[in-house]
Amino acid sequence: MCGIIGYIGKRQAAPIIFDGLKRLEYRGYDSAGMAIFDGSNGVQIKKDIGLVDDINKRLNFLSMQGNIGIGHTRWATHGGVTQTNAHPHISNNKKILVIHNGIVENYQELLTMLKENGFTFYSETDTEIIPNLIEFEMRKGKDFEHAAIDAIKQFDGYCAVLAMFEGERKIVAARNGSPLVVGVGNGENFIASDIPAFLEHTKNVIYIHDSDFVVLDSNRVKFFNLEDGKEVGRPLHSIDWDIEQAKKGNFDHFMMKEISEQVQTVKSAANQDKEILFEIADEMKKAKGVFLVACGSSYHACLTASYLFSKITKLHINVVLGSEFSNYENFLTPGTLVIAVSQSGETIDVLDAVKTARQKGSKVMSLVNVVGSSLHRNSDRALMLNAGPEICVLSTKTYTAQLTVLALLAYTIAGKYDEGKKNLEYLWNIIYNLTAANTRKYLMKLAEELKDKNHIFTIGRGLQFPTSLEAALKIKEVSYIHAEGFSGGELKHGTIALIEQGTPCIVFSSKENEKEIISNAMEIKARGGYIIGIDSKKNKDVFDFFIKVPDVGDLNPIIQIIPIQILSYQLAVLRGCDPDKPRNLAKSVTVK
């Protein structure tokens, strides 16, 4: 959700925070703001609704002077999209500034208490509670740090908080459930929701744990436990991400750049630590029940994996949405293995599922893209996706990376690790061709035909069924065309009633299910449907538009989704949508 960044050091803070906010735009937002502290002139705040660049043109963020500051991109939860509700928020005494991601669940109770003690509120947000609660605690004679600790301990809910006090040269922070990470520099320090916000300046990071309270100055970062106030140690990590991966380069949008990177990311995903891979494979074989838990595209990857595990290993796998996992808690035992899958490692529904598993004594493994993320830290073992930063809100390269790791895990369980590696290596040239300029040009013809359609349906059977779900998700979340994915066998159970003359239907076909799925396609065509076939060979009698993708058997899901990723991008561009920042969506869903 919201994006947070803070800086303290020797340089001017405004350009660093402004660039950081730009790099956090992928998280989704409707307003933005900055607060910069200058020792001689006090604190200056600028904030408004709209895009960071547009606000800068109106207010000139870069004119703000000072070398300590905080910045925020807000997605409205409490209160509408207004300049007043934008962050940062300031205390009644005009000395304490706060930015915040999350929800203060006991907002009404605290609001009433503060009003009874003479505080006035100007916004509709729950965030304005926080600076005033810190001021309230400071009125009791506490210093800024202890007042902030005691204030934060009073409110309920998942959150990430940054605060500054005009009288002190420091930034304090706390987290519970919402991500925060520190970037350690030379005579300067950074803090943000995500690493790309400061990756240009440092690759040395410290991950903030739940219930951590952090104090940053130019030269030190101190960590304390919120509950007992004792100082704690947190390890320093060096990130191997390349800053160029977090830049668009010659591409117009991150989405297309990241689609084009899939040759490399599939290679990297297949290059797993064999010791960890084989250990997780052994745990899966001996577990008394295995659950794959994920949300969104990651859930579709897990659903695909359940088919793969059944085919390759004869192993039964339960696949559950993170938000629904608590309904399965009575099946969990110390012998159960839960494998959580998440790009960011900060998806709140997945983290809640992990907590449920822990409470039942179950083992937890994970597939994740971010070392040191909450999921990574809370797993007994983790396999890394190795996809590098994914800036676009939509999952593309991390989706195929997840499929790659899960497929390799299935081969490993079956005692076919070398065969799995060889099969994955065979995909590289295919992916290169599928992401090449001539393929994109060919698919643009289809995008032109579909851009004004109101509905698109996708169907598949077997391994192609989860692919049809992911294809529909990609289309609707970026182009805003209504799209739905179905098993081909379910058409006659209701969906075929929606088919009209010219209704587009994307059909995922393979040698394994060709007979059945082509029969389903013919049923749609007989009712006026426009059939787009994805297959290794063209069926002239059925396909109105043909997308050729070589048949690679069990690994078809990795490559068959790629043309639809490209098509979705092109539909978004043609319809005037921003592919990198779809409306109402966030990269990492960190609130319920």
Task: Identify the pLDDT of residue 346.
Answer: 86
Nearest to 164 by CA among 183, 148, 149, 185: 148
What tens digit of pLDDT does each residue of 522-549 get? 988 988 899 999 999 999 999 999 999 9
Listed in order, the ranges of the chain carrying CATH 3.40.50.10490 are 250-435, 436-579
For residue 508, is it left (φ>0), alpha (ψ between -120 and 50) or beta?
A: beta
> 518: buried, middle or exposed (CB in 10 Å: 19+, 13-18, 0-12)?
buried
Task: Kindly tell me if the per-residue pLDDT of 297 is higher than 60.
Answer: yes
The helix/strand/coil state of 267 is: helix
Confidence band, pLDDT 50/70/90 cuts, at residue 48: very high
Output the CA torsion 278→403→322→23 (10° steps).
110
Task: Identify the pLDDT of residue 151.
Answer: 94
SS3 content of the chain, % helix, strand, coil (to 5): 40, 20, 35
Contact 583, 29 (CB under 8 A): no
Residue 306 and residue 319: Cα distance in Å, rounded?
7
Task: Identify the pLDDT of residue 146.
Answer: 94
Task: Identify the pLDDT of residue 587.
Answer: 59
What residues form DSSP beta bridges with 57?
Answer: none
Query: Mean of the per-residue pLDDT values for the chain?
Result: 92
Task: Kindly tell me if the per-residue pLDDT of 148 is higher than 90.
Answer: yes
Task: Kindly tell me if the per-residue pLDDT of 455 is higher than 60.
Answer: yes
Class of domain 3-239: alpha beta
Task: Kindly tell me if the per-residue pLDDT of 588 is higher than 60.
Answer: no
Report the catalytic residues.
Answer: 2, 587
Task: Kindly tell me if the per-residue pLDDT of 286 is higher than 70.
Answer: yes
What tens digit of pLDDT does each residue of 552-567 get? 999 999 999 999 999 9
Contact 555, 266 (CB under 8 A): no
The helix/strand/coil state of 550 is: coil
Task: Kindly tell me if the per-residue pLDDT of 381 is higher than 70.
Answer: yes
40-49, 283-292, 446-455: lowest mean pLDDT where?
40-49
Confidence band, pLDDT 50/70/90 cuts, at residue 586: low
CATH code: domain 436-579 is 3.40.50.10490
Mean pLDDT across 203-219: 92
Q: Provide the token pair at 98.
A: 């706060």
Residue 190 and residue 197: Cα distance in Å, rounded?
9
Per the model's pLDDT, the better-predicted residue between 249 and 483 turns out to be: 483
Per the model's pLDDT, the better-predicted residue between 274 and 583 turns out to be: 274
What b/e sequence results for 116-136 when a residue is b if at least 16 CB atoms lie within 10 Å of its CB, and e otherwise? eeebeeebebbbbbbbbbbbb
Confidence band, pLDDT 50/70/90 cuts, at residue 344: confident
The residue behind tokens 């001017």 is: 12
The helix/strand/coil state of 301 is: helix
Mean pLDDT across 574-586: 85
Q: Report yes or no on whether pTM surpasses 0.95.
A: no
Is the bond preceding residue 88 a cis peptide, omega within 30 degrees? yes
What tens digit of pLDDT does each residue of 403-422 get? 999 999 999 999 999 999 99
Could you tell me how many residues make up the chain?
A: 592
Task: Kindly tell me if the per-residue pLDDT of 173 is higher than 90.
Answer: yes
Task: Identify the pLDDT of residue 303.
Answer: 97
What tens digit of pLDDT does each residue of 81-134 get? 899 999 999 999 999 999 998 888 899 999 999 999 999 999 999 999 999 999
Distance of CA 397 to the CA centre of its chain: 12
Nearest to 68 by CA among 92, 50, 48, 88: 88
Quote the Cα angle for 47-52-55, to 5°: 50
Task: Identify the pLDDT of residue 390.
Answer: 85
Task: Identify the pLDDT of residue 591.
Answer: 55
What residues form DSSP beta bridges with 291?
Answer: 318, 338
Listed in order, the ranges of the chain carrying CATH 3.60.20.10 are 3-239
Q: Which long-range contacts (CB under 8 A, 24 or more apart) does 261-264 make?
A: 261/388, 261/397, 262/396, 262/397, 262/400, 262/431, 262/435, 262/562, 263/428, 263/431, 263/432, 263/435
Q: What are phi and psi of 341, to 5 degrees?
A: -125, 125
DSSP 414-454: TT-HHHHHHHHHHHHHHHHHHTSHHHHHHHHHHHHHHTT-S
Task: Identify the pLDDT of residue 242.
Answer: 65
CATH of 250-435, one of 3.40.50.10490, 3.40.190.10, 2.40.110.10, 3.90.650.10: 3.40.50.10490
Task: Identify the pLDDT of residue 228.
Answer: 86
Contact 567, 447 (CB under 8 A): yes
Residue 270 and residue 407: Cα distance in Å, rounded?
9
Task: Kindly tell me if the per-residue pLDDT of 31 is higher than 60.
Answer: yes
Mean pLDDT across 165-178: 90
Confidence band, pLDDT 50/70/90 cuts, at residue 245: low
